[in-house]
Amino acid sequence: MYKVFVNDKPLFLTNQIVKETDFKFFLLESIDIEQLIVNYFQHKIHKAYLYHPDEKEIIKKLKEKIPVNKAGGGLVYNKKGEVLFILRNGKWDLPKGGLNKYEEIEDAAKREVEEETGVSNLKITKKLQKTYHIFKRNGKYKLKITQWYEMHTDFEGPLVGQAEEGIEKVAWLNPEEIESALKNSYENIKLLFEEEKKYSLKN
């Protein structure tokens, strides 16, 4: 099952038929995806499931219905074990951004972290999950697929938020501060930390 966020509300892609309770259930094959998204943004729908029998084909089918924007991002640790956060539009987020033409996704993720925060000497240590969310740009809805990477750095210089990207603040946050920041963050970011927590418990 995949979880796509629309206006920070969940849209599940599933190959299981589930009975409607507190959500709407649609067939991915026949859904008018734009109308569904509009209903999310108008708060008419808060949770929905899109069904397709073949789990391997689900994302492919969704991509056929909506333009895709690929991005790379970083969950960046410093030597103290703090994580790099940015504050944008009054919410805590992690640095990420779209790919340039012919750019590899790992390079894009590192470049975006550096451009948005001023942090350099980045080393990718692990490939993390992908997150999915739908956003609107120039009047069109798009599906943003972000590939996240765990990164480490020994950088100790000043943090500089990229003003033209609307970044109000950049900060290294310790575990306690992260917990507080996640209360004012996006569902995709919370998801990333849930996975990270599960991983560290397993190891």
198 in the same domain as 149: yes
Band the pLDDT of 196: cuts 50, 70, 90: confident
Which of 46, 65, 84 is the endpoint of a domain? Answer: 65
177 in the same domain as 149: yes
166 in the same domain as 150: yes
175 in the same domain as 81: yes
CA distance 4 to 133: 5
Give tens-digit pLDDT for 23-50: 999 999 999 999 999 999 999 999 999 9
82 in the same domain as 151: yes
106 in the same domain as 80: yes
13 in the same domain as 108: no
Would the pLDDT of 200 be above 60? no
pLDDT at 43: 94
Count of domains observed in the chain: 2
CATH number for 100? 3.90.79.10
Domain that holds residue 45: 2-65
Would the pLDDT of 202 be above 70? no
* Mean pLDDT (whole number) for 64-73: 96
CB 38 within 8 A of CB 26: no
For CA atoms 97, 98, 101, 102, the dihedral sign is positive
Q: How far apart are the first and last CA of the chain?
A: 24
pLDDT at 18: 82
133 in the same domain as 56: no
pTM of the model: 0.91
Residues with Cβ within 8 Å of residue 178, at least 6 apart in sequence: 83, 85, 193
